[in-house]
Structure 1
């Protein structure tokens, strides 16, 4: 006897040795491959209501309705003479095959009735086993995702705590200095302290804005308002706002716009936010002496904007995950930089709201390039 079990991925009934059977000291003969496609006429006939097929004169004292040339050759060679469907929930999960009786006698009707009952029980057992496997696999997958998300949330909380505590500590320290030395501090030092306080307040405001954006993106409340805008103005405004960060790290920043006066369709505030996030990341992860290049190039009705750096690069296995919320690489060179793991996730969502896609190319030790497109609203007329 043999058991064929449905392989859903291959859409075949794959042969398995039937359980049980007498054991002896002799080596068991090899199990023949009796597999057939799920679309085979025999399988279709069994599924459509035939509770048993008797193949050939060896099965019963009547001739099968199935011509020999329509019976799989390997079945004939193996001596298959009875096929019973294993059906559960309207789906045939397997086929039970029997060879001739060892006694040489034919199968009696009552024997086939008993085999039908056993086939029904086997079908239920196979269906239950598959259901258990599916539930078990789903449970393991969910557990893994929960563990992963829990760790990401812990990392996020830790990062937010760090992002909050660092500027707040600086603000507290410098305000105490200002209050304690009121009227005694030279004006230049006082202004320097106030600049530190202002810079850290701005850092806190950016963090609050990021958290707000994530919440609004999550529940669909964040919207954009595209309108024609001069790309050069947005790029230059962003570059100017980050010039102090670029200078402090000793980086070189170049801007190449072609054409320089392209008019694109976008939400000015959000396009500026996209560029700010990409340039901030480039600054963070590019060592001193490195180079950052912002490029805009016209391509078939759109302008492709890229931000390229010569920084530490991103591992290939992380290129997809870097856009996940809360995700931060375990690379020590990344961990030593501040961040919450929200910037690229927000940037990706904002780019997609503009009908584009945020892409990245990177090689470890050589740098990264991030890019997206904006539709052209108007091109300048040639003089």
Structure 2
């Protein structure tokens, strides 16, 4: 049973890698078109949060979400934005210690909806902050020189957000955590 679970997780990781690689290539070539629709923000976030909260519980991490009442409906390609949020959330899960905190906040800022995914995890070294969204960049963890991921997830996030006319950025301090923000125009 444990071997099947490992095989399933490996297959999911491979699928995600292939999907990110294909979508990044399509976006670079200008061949990925958005399938925008009106999305009720509370339902959209709830669907993403349910599964993630369970993953946090299994990994012994705390998860909180907050959606400001002024944010009700946005026009997005919900499949792409769900992948962006999942990418950011699961990165936080991976880089937050047991008992740590992860949060998702959604608020209105001028003519944008702003999403924030934050954690009190290991943070990002200063030298990576400016290049973390570049293709194939991976943060090397100083202990054991460990690298995780493929270096495509955050590239995908950046390109998907920019395709929506938004921006993405990170604020982080080593040993204190990271906060990833992105905006979507209203």
Residue aligning to 1:265: 75
Over residues 89-124 of structure 1, what are the superposed CA-to-partner deviations in whole Å (9 max), with x where a residue is unaligned? Answer: xxxxxxxxxxxxxxxxxxxxxxxxxxxxxxxxxxxx
Q: Is it true that 1:347 corresponds to 2:157 in the alignment? A: yes
What CA distance in whole angstroms lies between the structure 2 residues aligned with 1:335 and 1:240? Answer: 33
**Which protein has greater RCO, CA pairs closer than 8 Å, 6+ apart?**
2
Distance in 1 (CA, whole Å) between partners of 2:71 and 2:61 is 26
**TM-aligned CA deviation for residue 211 of structure 1:** 1.6
1:324 pairs with 2:137:
no
Matched, 1:253 2:63: yes
Q: Which residue of 2 aligns with 1:222?
A: 32
The answer to whether the 8 A contact 1:358-1:371 is kept is yes
SS at the partner of 2:15?
A: helix
- Rounded to whole Å, the distance in 2 between the matches of 1:266 and 1:334 is 40
Consecutive unaligned residues of structure 2, counting only runs of 5 or more, are none
* CA RMSD, 1 decimal: 2.1
1:350-361 alignment to 2 at 5 Å? Answer: 350-361=160-171
Question: Which residue is equivalent to 1:206?
Answer: 16
Q: Which runs of 5+ in 1 are unaligned?
A: 1-188, 377-383
Secondary structure of 2:179's aligned partner: strand
Please say which structure displays the higher CA radius of gyration.
1
Matches within 5 A, 1:23-172: none
Distance in 2 (CA, whole Å) between partners of 1:268 and 1:333 is 37
- Within-5 A mapping of 1:304-383: 304-332=114-142, 336=146, 338-376=148-186
Deviation at 1:214, TM superposition (A): 2.1
Aligned partner of residue 132 in structure 2, secondary structure:
helix
Contact 1:329 1:335 in 2 (8 A): no
Match of 1:300 in 2: 110
* 1:352 shift after superposition: 0.5
Could you tell which deviates more after superposition, 328-337 or 276-285?
328-337
Secondary structure at the counterpart of residue 242 of structure 1: helix
Mapped partners of 2:113, 2:30: distance in 1: 27
Aligned to 1:290: 100
CA distance in 1, matches of 2:147, 2:51: 20
**TM-score of the two chains, using structure 1 as the length reference:** 0.46
The 1-side partners of 2:67 and 2:143 are apart by: 31
Q: Pick one of 258, 274, 296 that aligns with 2:84.
A: 274
C-alpha distance in 1, partners of 2:39/2:53?
A: 22
TM-score by length of 2: 0.90
Residues 1:335 and 1:274: Cα distance change in structure 2 (over 3 Å): farther
